Amino acid sequence: MKNYSEDWEAVIGLEIHVQLSTKSKLFSGASTDFGALPNTQACNIDLAMPGVLPVLNEEVLRMAIKLGKALNAQINSPTSFARKNYFYPDSPKGYQISQMDKPIVENGYLDIETKEGNKRIGVTRAHLEEDAGKSLHDDFEGQSGIDLNRAGTPLLEIVSEPEINTPEEAVAYLKSIHSIIRYLGISDGNMAEGSMRCDANVSVRKIGDENLGTRTETKNVNSFRFVEKAIQYEIERQIHELESGNKITQETRLYDSQANSTRPMRSKEFANDYRYFPEPDLLPINLENEFIEEVMASMPEMPNQKKERFVSEFNLSEYDASLLAADKDLADFFEEVAKVSNSPKLSANWIMGELSAELNKENLSINESKISSNKLGQLILRIEDGTISGKIAKEIFEKLWSSDNEVDEIIQSEGLEQVTDDKEIESIIDGVIKNNPEQLEQYRSGKDRLFGFFVGQVMKASQGKANPKQVNDILRKKLEK
C-alpha cells in the first residue's frame, strides 16, 4: 500500500465491547459459559417470553465501578437503563437494554505509551448493555439458525474520545484496556472468542483543519493486529477518495482480514433511529457510597502502579518494568521468581530472555511454562550465591525445561558446581599458560587483547565451571608476573 501524503491527519475513536466474566447473565440466571450446545443457556427472560421481567445482576455493578475507578472516571448515581429499539432475529425482545443518559461510568482517561512519550486519551463513557445472540447463516433450507446462548450476556461498552491519531496509538489504547480488564478480573479479554470486540470510528482531515471529516465505523475487527491494519487501510482509503475529489459517505464498514480491506455493509434506505427511551422495566439504580467504597477497597494493583513499584522497589528499568507489568500473569510470575531468587534484576533478565524465548518457540503462555516460577527462582539463586556460573545456568535451564528434576539435583548429580577454590583455579590457569607460551609472550610484549583469549581457554578447561570473577583476578596477576 502506498504511503499517504503528510498533509493529512486521522482522527480515531474506539468503541470497545467487553464481555463481563459473570457466572450468570445481565438480567437472568442463565449461565454465560462459552461453547455450550445451542440454546441450552437461554431461559425465558433471554427469549423474551411474554410476562418476564429483567432482574439486575449485582456483580456487573461491581465490575463497572472497578473499571470506572481504573479509568479515573466518575461513577454516576443514580445510573439508569434505556431501551434501544431495533429488529433483528438474534435479539428476541425487539430491543436491547442499554444505557443512554446516565451511563454508570463517565469522563475518564487513560495514559498510553507512544513513541513520542505518554499520551492521554479521554474515555467518554462506559455503559452496561446486553449482548445479542448469534445468527448462523449456514444452509438451513434457505433459513438462518438462531442460537440465543449469548443473548443477555453482560457487556461494558467503553467509548473513547476521538483523540487517537494513528493506528499504533489505537493498538496501544486497546492493549491498555485489555491489560486493565484482565487485571481487574472483569473479563478474560479473549478477542478470538469475542470477549473483547472493537469498532473503530475513523475520519481524516487536512492538518490544521478544525472541523472533523466525515467518519466511517469499521466493525468486525477481532485481533490487535487487525485493528491496526483495518484502521491503516481505512485512513489510506479515505485520503485516496478525498484526494481524488470524492466524498466520504458516513457508513458502517466491515473489515475483511483475508483481503486486508474494508467494505461497506448494505446501507439502509434511511439512517437507523433507535428511538431510545428510559427502560420502563428497570428502576434507576442508586449506588450507595458504602457499596462503591467496598468495591474500591477490593481494587487490585493496576498495571501502571505495578510498573512504578517494579521501578522503585526492584530497581528495574522503565522498559523492563512496563513489559513485565503489562500482563498480570507475567507480573505475578516475575514477583515469585524475584522472591525466591532474591535478585529482581537477574529474574527480569531471565524471564524476558531465556524463558520468553522458550515460551515463544513452543507458543506457550506464561501459565503454561514448563519451568515453575519457584524453580527458575532456585536456579537464579544458585547463580547469585556463586554455586554455578551463568553459563552453566543456561545448560541447567534447558534440562529443567525438558525434565521434572530439581535445580540442586541436577547441579549435584552432574557435578556442575562452580569452581571457587582459588587453588583449583590457579592450577587450571597454570596449565593454560603453560600450554600457550606464544600467546603469553605476545601478551607480555603489550598485546592486551589476548587477555580475552586466556579467559576463554581457562573457562573451556574448567568446562565453564570456574568462577569468572576469580578467573579474571587470578589470571591478571599470573600474566603480569
Partner 1 sequence: MALSDQELKEIAYLARINVNEESLTSLKKELEDILGLFEELNEADTSQVSAMSHPLDLSQPTRKDEVTEENLREELLKNAPSVKSGLFLVPKVIDGDN
Give the interface with partner 1 as residue ranges (CB under 8 A): 22-24, 28-31, 37-44, 47, 49, 55-59, 61, 78, 80, 85-89, 91, 101-102, 132, 135-137, 140-148, 252, 254, 265-268, 270, 272-273, 275, 278, 280, 282-286
Smallest distance, partner 1 to C-beta of residue 75, A: 15
CA distances from 159 to 51, 167, 176, 301, 334 (A): 33, 17, 14, 23, 33
List the grid coordinates of 212.
472533523
Q: Look at residue 402 and give its three-state secondary structure.
A: helix
- Taking the least distance from each CB to partner 1, the nearer of 154 and 189 is 154
Smallest distance, partner 1 to C-beta of residue 141, A: 8
- Taking the least distance from each CB to partner 1, the nearer of 265 and 296 is 265
- Taking the least distance from each CB to partner 1, the nearer of 64 and 110 is 64
- Taking the least distance from each CB to partner 1, the nearer of 269 and 448 is 269
Alpha-carbon distance of 276 to 279, in angstroms, equals 9
Smallest distance, partner 1 to C-beta of residue 66, A: 14
Contact call for residues 285 and 56 (beta carbons, < 8 A): yes
Contact call for residues 182 and 189 (beta carbons, < 8 A): yes
Q: Which candidate, 2, 442, 393, places its Cα nearest to that of 232?
A: 2
Smallest distance, partner 1 to C-beta of residue 309, A: 31
| Phi–psi pair at 402, nearest 5 degrees | -105, 10
Smallest distance, partner 1 to C-beta of residue 21, A: 10
Smallest distance, partner 1 to C-beta of residue 332, A: 25
429-454 burial, b at 16+ Cβ within 10 Å, e below that, comes to beebbeebeebbeebeeeeeebeeeb
Contact call for residues 181 and 302 (beta carbons, < 8 A): no
Q: Is 52 exposed, middle or buried (0-12, 13-18, 19+ CB in 10 A)?
A: middle
- Taking the least distance from each CB to partner 1, the nearer of 284 and 456 is 284
Q: Which candidate, 344, 343, 407, places its Cα nearest to that of 371?
A: 407
Smallest distance, partner 1 to C-beta of residue 78, A: 7
- Taking the least distance from each CB to partner 1, the nearer of 243 and 294 is 294
Q: Strand locations in 229-381, DSSP E?
A: 252-256, 261-264, 277-278
Smallest distance, partner 1 to C-beta of residue 228, A: 23
Q: Which candidate, 309, 279, 14, places its Cα nearest to that of 172?
A: 14
Smallest distance, partner 1 to C-beta of residue 206, A: 30
- Taking the least distance from each CB to partner 1, the nearer of 30 and 432 is 30
| Phi–psi pair at 155, nearest 5 degrees | -125, 150
Alpha-carbon distance of 479 to 481, in angstroms, equals 5
- Taking the least distance from each CB to partner 1, the nearer of 169 and 279 is 279
- Taking the least distance from each CB to partner 1, the nearer of 255 and 310 is 255
Smallest distance, partner 1 to C-beta of residue 352, A: 37
- Taking the least distance from each CB to partner 1, the nearer of 283 and 296 is 283
Q: Which candidate, 50, 51, 55, places its Cα nearest to that of 30?
A: 55
